[in-house]
Amino acid sequence: MNLTILLVLLAFECSVCLCDYWADRAKLIEDEHSQILGSSITLTPKEEVVNKKLIKIKSDEYDKGFNNVLNFLPSQHFFKTKAQVESSEVFKFIQKVPKGADLHAHDSAIVSDQFLFNLTYRSNLYACFQNGSLRLRFFSTPNLSCNWTLLATLRQADPSINDLIRSRITLVVDNPETRYRTEREIWAAFLNVLDLVTPVITYRPVFEDYFYRALEELYEDNVIYMELRGLLPQVYELNGTVYDGVDVAGLYVNVLKKFKQDYPDFVGAKFIYTPLRSADNVTAWKYVETLKALKKRYPDFVIGFDLAGEEERGFPLKNFIPQLTNIQGSLVKIIYDKRL
């Protein structure tokens, strides 16, 4: 075959291949775009303007990341970049945009750490050290379970206790990669945080302010609905009064009612009863009775059931099939996880 003819044929075949490639590529991109969440939504002219602005600032952040990976915040540990994320243009933009709902919030982790720290300045808060751990609790007169001292007195004697408290109410550390090398270490640190803050946030006046502030922080981020998972811990008064689970749900309802009066455009909140999964059979049946009582008293507020805690150390859901089956008829929905 003449060499010139061969080259022409090869060039033609390559051009056909390239045409097929670019056509297939365009079709693939088009198919992917059609499957993106919201792809079927037609934006109004004003929404198009807003969308283009968001895409512009997102692209600018991507470009900075491509030029220098240290500028790409998602590539680094969140503890180290949280402040930068919150000051980024993309975050500020998203913060202003209506977002609808927070569908997975847990009762003991729903306010900012600064608000949590500010709670430690409340009157009648006592502190003590037991087995090397800091403990906090409100008292009118402290009991003898520990060498309790007013936290205000400790602060006067040693202001550095504030640094200790700040470090104990959050998982944030300077060296997360070495401090939390395994999931078990993270869980242990998390449980230590809960041990410290739970007696603080379960004092009834604080409990109510805590939930109100949680709703307020959501509202400030343009979130107008929440589904809250909660243990319904024992909430106490200085006079020794202790509220049971159903009464604690009532405290939530009352605070929510007040918040909706203060912010009429807030849609509301619902509650998912979420006790610990590390429960024996007898305790699991108590969960069933509590849930039925909750659903009877607050049918419009209580909407689901879940189990909380470290899944690897808890029992699988198959252990609770009789209880879950019994619950099912009493609920609008039951929250199942995938661990069977």
Domains of the chain, residue spans: 45-97
pLDDT classification of 165: cutoffs 50, 70, 90: very high
For residue 336 the two structure tokens come to 């199942």
The model's pLDDT over 274-326, given as tens digits with 9 standing for 90+, comes to 999 888 889 999 999 999 999 999 999 999 999 988 877 777 888 888 888 88
The Cα–Cα gap between 165 and 176 comes to 18
**pTM for this prediction:** 0.84
Given a cut of 70, is residue 98 above it in pLDDT?
Answer: yes
β-bridge mates for residue 305, sequence order: 273
Given a cut of 50, is residue 153 above it in pLDDT?
Answer: yes
Which of the two residues, 22 and 104, has the higher pLDDT score? 104
Are 248 and 232 spatial neighbours (Cβ–Cβ below 8 Å)?
A: yes
Hey, CA dihedral for 152, 156, 157, 162, is it positive or negative? Answer: positive
